[in-house]
């Protein structure tokens, strides 16, 4: 339930706060007072785009913040699914600057789209522009699916999986039919590729081993030359070994005079031994460096073959081997193509049968829910002063299944006795369309866990007895849901459980909209204004009191 709205520096509002309660919350005021700004601010908090002209003072930040109480487990589960931390409340906020906006949920920054997703679990907003929803028959089936979502949603999820499988098979079959036209050419080409890979007798890792050998052999001469230099520099006979030997003898000749000299001579003994071992190892290594030009050419040619294969079928030898297996499988299919096509056709037919079965199952469940929905909508329309109304849903079948089933459906209505049933788009009156939408909303909302319904001047084009019926319907809905209604009808305003007045005034050479919760006397005066305009007579005030008394009596009943 929406419990709090805070707006700062937006449009005509300097800074205002509204605390909402359960039941019917009414917002009224003269035309142009700023009633639509409240709805606009609320939409901003729910993730809608920010109009450029929304900031009142471009040098300051605009703020809009709404607080919802969490009332059911479905809302809690949705918040957990979105990784939102919460206790018993959810606070959605939007800070707006001249260049950007910042969205937060419970103090944590999030993308603006997430505001809209979270808000959808708590609030349902109906404005005058939503008449277009009723004129678009594609939305009618979505309304029915929402009403019966407990059984319909699992079937639609199953349908989505089967539909994807069917499309995959259909694409494979279409591709196979096309490939059949070029089968002989493809067979020859595949045989050539398979023969090329098989003749190469590829082994995984072979290229890496050969590249090591190739690197060694291609640098063999340089390796031998440098090893010879190292050997000559360290060998006996004017090399390092010979010089170390002379140094040892020099130290030994004086070692008897100082024990530390003997230790130094011993260290050089170790060095002489290391150099001698090194000379032997280096000599053995050079003797093994037998460069074979023909072996080098063979390695070079083999690497060329492997690299060519990797370029064509790679990029690795593992890919080349996998490609061989795939080509062998494809060749097998092509060589026995008629059997392959027949098998594929059978799989496609079975998949289509399965898809149609689920579609027809979905149709049956949808019609079952429509039989439950339609009488409730007719009753709701009757409550809204539609006398002898007929309301139905007309189903037709599409030429082929879709991911949403095989149904096309739309609501049809007859508002007067003897008139034929017509699509809703043919209803010309905006007042009738508003009441039809209210009837649908009040029935559909009973099937969900959304606590708050907002109506923006749903009473457009309505007056007299119909206005009274509308007010009574809103009051009945408000017994189980929080209803917030922006209205210009005194009949609707009289039913308020909480009534807010939106006024426009000039403060310091600037126009400002303010929002005030009214007491009983203020409500009577506001209703009198709504009844008569600028002139409020004692008779009008008495009429206003009578309307409020009637509303209290109705709510008591």
Cα 348 from Cα 334, distance rounded (Å): 19
pLDDT of residue 256: 79
For 478-528, the pLDDT digits (tens) are 988 899 999 989 999 999 999 999 988 888 788 888 999 999 999 999 999
Cα 399 from Cα 397, distance rounded (Å): 7
- pLDDT band at residue 549, thresholds of 50, 70 and 90? very high
- pLDDT band at residue 417, thresholds of 50, 70 and 90? confident
- pLDDT band at residue 68, thresholds of 50, 70 and 90? very high
Cα 111 from Cα 237, distance rounded (Å): 81
Query: Residue 282 class from Cβ within 10 Å (0-12 exposed, 13-18 middle, 19+ buried)?
Result: middle
pLDDT of residue 373: 95
Q: Which of 37-46, 110-119, 171-180 has the lowest mean pLDDT?
A: 171-180
Better-predicted residue by pLDDT, 347 or 453: 347
Contact of 357 with 374, CB cutoff 8 Å: no
Does residue 90 register a pLDDT over 90?
Answer: yes
pLDDT of residue 133: 67
* Strand pairing category for 498-507 and 24-28: parallel
Give percent above pLDDT 70 in the chain. Answer: 95
Mean pLDDT of 350-356: 96
Residue 452's nearest CA partner among 476, 498, 483, 497 is: 483
- pLDDT band at residue 430, thresholds of 50, 70 and 90? low
DSSP string, 378-434: HHHHHHTT-TT-EEEEEEEEEEEEETTEEEEEEEEEE-STTPPPEEGGG---HHHHH
pLDDT of residue 276: 81
Better-predicted residue by pLDDT, 111 or 214: 111
CA dist 555 to 256, 476, 496, 548, 550, Å?
124, 8, 10, 11, 9
pLDDT of residue 112: 85
Order of strands across the sheet that contains 108-110: 13-19, 2-10, 62-69, 89-96, 101-105, 108-110
pLDDT of residue 516: 92
pLDDT of residue 334: 76
Better-predicted residue by pLDDT, 205 or 290: 205
**pTM listed for this prediction:** 0.65
Mean pLDDT of 390-398: 95
For 21-52, the pLDDT digits (tens) are 999 999 998 887 777 888 888 888 988 888 87
Mean pLDDT of 373-391: 90
Residue 128's nearest CA partner among 452, 384, 433 is: 433
Query: Residue 216 class from Cβ within 10 Å (0-12 exposed, 13-18 middle, 19+ buried)?
Result: middle
For 4-18, the pLDDT digits (tens) are 999 999 888 889 999
Sorted by sequence, the CB contacts under 8 Å of residue 47 that are 6+ apart come out as 103, 112, 113, 114, 115, 116, 117, 119
pLDDT of residue 127: 67
Does residue 132 register a pLDDT over 70?
Answer: no
Q: Which of 217-226, 312-321, 352-361 has the lowest mean pLDDT?
A: 217-226
Mean pLDDT of 394-422: 92
For 253-289, the pLDDT digits (tens) are 887 787 888 888 888 888 878 888 888 887 777 777 7
pLDDT of residue 236: 62
Per-chain mean pLDDT for the chain: 86
Best-predicted range by mean pLDDT among 137-141, 227-231, 366-370? Answer: 366-370
Mean pLDDT of 442-449: 75
Mean pLDDT of 199-228: 81
Contact of 470 with 481, CB cutoff 8 Å: no
Q: Length of the chain, please?
A: 557
Mean pLDDT of 118-136: 75
Give percent above pLDDT 90 in the chain. Answer: 34
Helices 138-147, 337-383: axis angle to 10 degrees equals 80
- pLDDT band at residue 398, thresholds of 50, 70 and 90? very high
Mean pLDDT of 192-201: 89
Better-predicted residue by pLDDT, 262 or 150: 150
Does residue 454 register a pLDDT over 80?
Answer: yes
Does residue 458 register a pLDDT over 90?
Answer: no
Residue 389's nearest CA partner among 419, 362, 430 is: 419
Best-predicted range by mean pLDDT among 181-195, 217-231, 516-530? Answer: 516-530
DSSP three-state, residue 18: strand
- pLDDT band at residue 429, thresholds of 50, 70 and 90? low
């Amino acid at each position: 339930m929406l419990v709090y709205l805070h707006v700062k520096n937006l449009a005509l509002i300097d800074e205002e706060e509204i605390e909402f309660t359960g039941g019917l919350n009414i917002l009224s005021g003269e035309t142009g007072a700023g009633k639509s700004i409240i709805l606009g601010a609320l939409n901003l908090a729910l993730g809608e785009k920010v109009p450029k002209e929304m900031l009142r003072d471009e040098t300051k930040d605009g703020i809009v913040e709404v607080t919802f109480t969490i009332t059911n487990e479905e809302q809690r589960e949705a918040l957990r699914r979105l990784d939102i931390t919460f206790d018993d409340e959810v606070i959605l906020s939007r800070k707006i600057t001249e260049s950007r906006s910042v969205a937060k949920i419970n103090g944590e920054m999030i993308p603006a789209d997430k505001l809209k997703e979270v808000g959808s679990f708590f609030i349902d907003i109906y404005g005058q522009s939503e008449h277009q929803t009723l004129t678009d028959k594609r939305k009618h089936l979505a309304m029915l699916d929402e009403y019966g979502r407990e059984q319909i949603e699992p079937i639609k999820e199953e349908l989505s999986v089967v539909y994807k499988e069917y499309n995959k098979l259909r694409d494979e079959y279409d591709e196979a039919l096309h490939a059949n036209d070029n089968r002989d050419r493809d067979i020859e080409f595949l045989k050539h590729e398979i023969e090329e890979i098989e003749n190469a007798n590829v082994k995984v890792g072979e290229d890496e081993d050969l590249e090591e050998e190739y690197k060694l052999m291609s640098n063999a001469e340089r390796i031998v030359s440098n090893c010879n230099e190292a050997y000559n520099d360290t060998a006996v006979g004017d090399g390092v070994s010979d010089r170390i030997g002379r140094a040892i003898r020099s130290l030994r000749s004086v070692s008897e005079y100082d024990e530390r000299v003997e230790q130094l001579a011993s260290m050089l003994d170790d060095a002489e031994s290391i150099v001698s071992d090194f000379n032997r190892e280096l000599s053995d290594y050079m003797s093994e460096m037998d460069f074979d030009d023909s072996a080098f050419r063979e390695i070079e040619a083999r690497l060329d073959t492997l690299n060519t294969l990797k370029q064509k079928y790679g990029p690795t030898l593992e890919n080349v081997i996998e490609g061989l297996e795939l080509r062998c499988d494809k060749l097998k299919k092509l060589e026995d193509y008629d059997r392959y096509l027949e098998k594929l056709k059978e799989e496609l037919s079975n998949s289509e049968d399965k898809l149609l079965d689920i579609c027809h199952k979905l149709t049956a469940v949808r019609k079952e829910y429509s039989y439950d929905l339609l009488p409730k909508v007719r009753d709701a329309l009757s409550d809204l002063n539609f006398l002898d109304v007929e309301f139905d849903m007309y189903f037709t079948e599409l030429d082929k299944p879709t991911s949403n089933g095989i149904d096309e459906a739309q609501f049809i209505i007859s508002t007067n006795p003897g008139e034929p049933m017509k699509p809703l788009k043919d209803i010309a009156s905006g007042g009738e369309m508003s009441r039809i939408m209210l009837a649908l909303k009040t029935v559909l909302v009973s099937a969900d866990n959304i606590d708050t319904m907002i109506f923006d001047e749903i009473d457009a084009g309505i007056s007299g007895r119909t206005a009274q019926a509308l007010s009574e319907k809103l009051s009945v809905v408000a017994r189980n849901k929080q209803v917030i209604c922006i209205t210009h009808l005194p009949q609707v305003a009289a039913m308020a459980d909480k009534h807010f007045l939106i006024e426009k005034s000039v403060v310091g050479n600037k126009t400002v909209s303010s929002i005030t919760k009214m007491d009983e006397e203020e409500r009577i005066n506001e209703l009198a204004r709504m009844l008569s305009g600028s002139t409020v007579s004692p008779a009008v005030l008495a009429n206003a009191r009578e309307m409020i008394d009637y509303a209290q009596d109705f709510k008591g009943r």
